[in-house]
Structure 1
Amino acid sequence: MSQKSTQKLVTDFKEKYKKEAEKLVNDVFPNKMIELDELFRSKKLSLSRTSDVCSDLKIPVPDPILFTGDSAMPHPSKKRKADSNSIDDISGTKVMILPNGPVPTNQQLQDLVNLLKPYIQELVDHANMVKMWISFLIPKIEDGNNFGVSIQEDTMAEARQIETEAASYLDQISRYFITRGKLVSKVAKYPHIDDYRQSVREVDEKEFISLRLICCELRNHYASLHDLIHKNIDKIKKPRSANAENLY
């Protein structure tokens, strides 16, 4: 492929990218903002549901009769390590066999995660697209008349910050499942201690509040970026006026 053909492909790509990004800001951003606002205000994320999002772990409390009276077994925790309630996995680690099967995730929170994750992933892509769009609009470096360029750079910095924050929401969700899994394993190991069960409920409630906040922040990010771009659209698209040389 000749150099001219390559240059034309690059130019066409940039022009197409600019048009798609501008349409994204004008059409997609307002729609996403409205969708997320409706979701934030819906019953799915109502604060009144906070105490109702906890789920049953299906881990029964051991019958105290088995460990009391004349037939009490000494050191039951040591005894149970080698009994039929555990098996060796591939690595040789002891794995507990629970009487009610696997412990389920909190389905209500899982549904909310499945609902919000596409919005998070889209915001990451959209912020990245805005960042690249503005970078294509930055003129060549020259002395003087750089006020418009500074506006472009500030808008790019805002888009970059939003991209980073949106990506951190995905990490926050994964940390919730890791934390909950560790606490559930504690409940399985010490089913007679209510504090561990309560800690799972507290983590679930906290995650519900976090997901509600994520929805609010996604809406706010779309709104703030859309507002910033539209207020400065002239300087973003044309950072230097055509008659700038007449000012000197």
Structure 2
Amino acid sequence: GVSLGLGSEVAHGWDVWRRVTQAEGKKLSSQLLTLCSVQEDTLNVADLTSLRAPLDIPIPDPPPKDDEMETDKQDKKEGKREGVTRGRGMAQWLLERQGLNLLFLIVPKCGFLPGNEKVLALLSLVKPEVWTLKEKCILVITWIQHLIPKIEDGNDFGVAIQEKVLERVNAVKTKVEAFQTTISKYFSERGDAVAKASKETHVMDYRALVHERDEAAYGELRAMVLHLRSFYAELYHIISSNLEKIVNPKGEEKPSMY
């Protein structure tokens, strides 16, 4: 390798980097305050039922009573049915022709079914924070990797610290990526629940499933914000506490280049 003395230009470069690091530290602190504010203002809902979105899905009439069904059968025997004008009557007539005593309902198609505006509003706040932390993790990982010196015997304590910090930052990055998967999964699962509720309109459990998914999403988003806040605090602490060893792991007055 080629060793270069710590000249004025290099010293100036380190000074610039320290100022940049301090600025990033202030940004991290500001980010923590922002996340705390978000948690206080929008993620402190006590009544989760207030998060439910209206489902514009028609609810079918309840099945007719036994006496009403007997009257309908008598009408058919007397020939009063001139034709089937309703989808339900046609389906039931066909089933009864086969000797089945079932009630078949054909429900009109549903119109446009929007998402839960309250959950979407929370997502619009949390998603950018998730992306930002992921990008910062990538930036820190790249920075530390470029500061790792060449492998040589002796005095590798600083390198071990660099590796430990890298390990923790990578762990945070992995957890943040899991948050992104959770967000995507919400839309998939809620979409399936809404589709079932609109198709099987007589099954009230599917409607309840949609509301349960929205309430669960709120809890997940709240937990994400709390985790993001703790991740920022942890990264700021571990980097600022070990900054000297991260920047100069060998403790040398002059860095080695190769």
TM-score of Structure 1 vs Structure 2, range by shorter chain: 0.7 to 0.9
Could you say if the C-alpha distance between residues 114 and 77 of structure 1 is closer, same or farther in structure 2, counting changes exceeding 3 Å? farther
Distance 2:19 2:198 in 1: 52
What is the letter of the counterpart of residue 158 of structure 1? R
How many residue pairs get matched? 214
Tell me, yes or no, if the aligned pair for 1:54 and 1:205 is still in contact at 8 Å: yes
Partner of 2:240 in structure 1? Answer: 230
Residue 61 of structure 1, CA deviation:
0.3
Contact map agreement 2:32 2:229 (CA 8 A) in 1 = yes
State the alpha-carbon separation in 2 of the partners of residues 29 and 194 from structure 1: 47
Task: Give the equivalent residue in structure 1 for 2:59.
Answer: 61
Q: How far apart, in 1, do the equivalents of 2:180 and 2:113 lie? A: 23
Deviation of 1:221 after TM superposition, in Å, equals: 0.7
CA contact (8 A) 1:21 1:129 kept: no
* TM-score, normalisation: structure 2: 0.74
Structure showing greater Rg:
2
Contact preservation (8 Å) 2:190, 2:213: yes
Of 45-54 and 124-133, deviating more is 45-54
* Corresponding residue number in structure 2 for 1:194: 204
**Amino acid in structure 2 at the alignment position of 1:152:** Q
Q: Equivalents in 2 of 1:129, 1:138: separation in Å?
A: 15
Q: Distance in 1 between matches of 2:26 and 2:129?
A: 16
Contact 1:50 1:209 in 2 (8 A): no
2:44 matched to which residue of 1? Answer: 46
Letter in 2 for 1:50: L
Gaps of 5+ in 2: 1-9, 73-87, 96-101, 254-258
User: What letter corresponds to residue 143 of structure 1 in structure 2?
Assistant: D
> Greater CA deviation, 232-241 or 17-26?
17-26
- CA-CA distance at 1:18 after TM superposition: 5.6
In 2: Cα distance, 1:175 partner to 1:24 partner: 36
TM-score w.r.t. the length of structure 1 is 0.77
1:203, 1:226 → 2: CA distance?
34
CA RMSD, aligned part only? 2.8
Preserved contact between residue 25 and residue 226 of structure 1 (Cα < 8 Å): no
1:214 maps onto 2:212 in alignment: no
What is the rounded CA distance, in whole Å, between the counterparts of 1:77 and 1:118 in structure 2?
50
| 1:1-248 mapped onto 2 (5 Å cutoff) | 22-23=21-22, 25-42=24-41, 44-64=42-62, 69=69, 70-71=71-72, 73=89, 74=92, 80=106, 85=108, 97-98=109-110, 101-242=111-252
Question: 2:63 & 2:168 partners in 1: Cα distance?
Answer: 63
Measure the CA separation in 1 of the matches of 2:182 and 2:164: 27
Deviation, structure 1 residue 78: 6.3
Q: Which has the higher contact order (CA 8 A, sep 6+)?
A: 2
Give the secondary-structure state (helix, strand or coil) at the position aligned to 2:46: helix
Residue deviations 1:74-93 (CA, integer Å, cap 9, x gap)? 1588673xx9x4xxxxxxxx
Aligned-pair identity in percent equals 30
Q: How far 1:28 sits from its partner (Å)?
A: 1.4
